[in-house]
Structure 1
């Protein structure tokens, strides 16, 4: 089963400095049919105006992955970590027992991010943060694991959950196949740019595809496409 969640159907709010779209229930947006997908709890599509951002605020017991689509985001937290993550790169924050952080767009142009929250397998551990560059050229025509809590993904940023976050870039007409370990796992896929077909179903930029009961998906780009996929445990 592949359920397409069009960009126009997403919840969200425009705060001026922040134009946010929510694939799942978040803040003032609540849809009982879109609370989570497997252990993915949040997928926000955020556009942040120059010189603005999220002031210091707390989190606990959540794995928070930020995929920068355009511009850059500057992070600072209560552990003393500081970092600037550019377009195409990824940062991960394991909130653990508690952490305060800020995320600002200090650039001269708008920054666009996907922010993905995944429920952790383990609670009560020390918080942590990390970031890593993932050159888009290395993802050309194939999936690269960006963050993972699964065995065999040592080159990815670590997260404390039964999930894998992957990225790929495809030229128009190019195809790639992803195989889930078994049909009990679920996937959520969003093209950051471009358009593609997933097992023959059309998907446009910033639409979501909720995948369940599939052991394999074939993606064929109908335009040059940059995409993010989360392979996660099914909580149902």
Structure 2
């Protein structure tokens, strides 16, 4: 089953310094059709104005994956400070509790996807990590950016039954994706361009939810970049 979550159906927020589209309902008065997909509970498409950002705030018992479309600076209560550039990924396991801030130190607007997943277990020591993923390495195919498999060494690790993948496609090219049997829920959103997913058009600003789809065929209608999450 496929559900297109078009830009028009998403909840929007505008604080001046922050413009956000919420692919998943985040408040009681939001669109009830855009509910969680298993462990996947938040997917925000944020644009942060230059010289601004999220001040120090706290989280617990949540896996937070940030896909940067355009630089972000991170600082947290366990001593991590880092800058994640466009195309790169950071993962924060909030665990028993962590406070952090995220700021746009550049002169251009910062654009990012922020993805929240419920962890397998509550608690645990908080942690943060980031990794570069050159877009050339994912040309024409999906590569894993973050994984809930604790044995993984090639990607960022998280404590959720899920994985995050990314791909870039030239116009007219196609790839197929078969979710793992235990990861029944899939959500996909273009970071650039427009694609067809099993015949359904999905453009920047839209998202597509899939439940129990044995295979997804993704075709680029124009040069495109997409992020996909499989979750239990």
**Shared fold (TM-score, shorter chain, > 0.5):** yes
Q: What is the match of residue 30 of structure 1? A: 30
Q: Is the 8 A contact 1:94 1:159 kept in 2?
A: yes
The Cα of 1:206 is off from its aligned counterpart by 2.2
Name the counterpart of 2:54: 54
Q: Is the CA contact 1:78–1:99 (under 8 Å) kept in the aligned structure 2?
A: yes
Q: What SS class does the counterpart of residue 96 from structure 1 fall into?
A: coil
Check conservation: 1:184, 1:212, Cα contact below 8 A. no
2:155 match: 156
Deviation readout 1:135-171 (Å, 9 max, x if unpaired): 0000000111001103664311000011000000000
Alpha-carbon separation, structure 2, partners of 1:225 and 1:109? 22
Aligned CA RMSD, in angstroms, stands at 1.4
Q: For the residues of structure 2 that align with 1:25 and 1:228, how far apart are their CA atoms?
A: 19
User: Counterparts of 1:135 and 1:228 in 2: how far apart (Å)?
Assistant: 14
Aligned to 1:122: 121
* Matched length: 232
TM-score where L is the length of structure 1: 0.95
1: CA distance between counterparts of 2:57 and 2:214?
A: 39
Query: Structure 1, residues 81-124: CA drift from partner, whole Å, max 9, x if none?
Result: 00000000000000000000000000011000000000000111
SS in 2 for 1:8: helix
Could you say which residue in structure 2 is the equivalent of 1:207?
206
SS across alignment from 2:46: strand
In 2, Cα distance between the equivalents of 1:192 and 1:152?
Answer: 29
**Structure 1 CA distance for aligned equivalents of residues 23 and 33 of structure 2:** 11
CA contact (8 A) 1:66 1:91 kept: yes
Does residue 1:15 correspond to 2:12, yes or no? no
Taking structure 2 as the reference length, the TM-score comes to 0.96
Unaligned runs of 5+ in 1: none
Q: 1:216 to 1:153 in 2, by over 3 A?
A: farther
CA contact (8 A) 2:44 2:114 kept: yes
SS of aligned partner of 1:74: strand
Q: After superposition, what is the alpha-carbon deviation per residue over 1:56-78, rounded to whole angstroms, capped at 9, x for unaligned?
A: 000000000000012x0000000
Structure 2 residues not aligned, in runs of 5+: none
**Structure 1: 4+ residue segments shifted above 3 A:** none
| SS at 2:137 equivalent | helix
Deviation at 1:230, TM superposition (A): 0.2
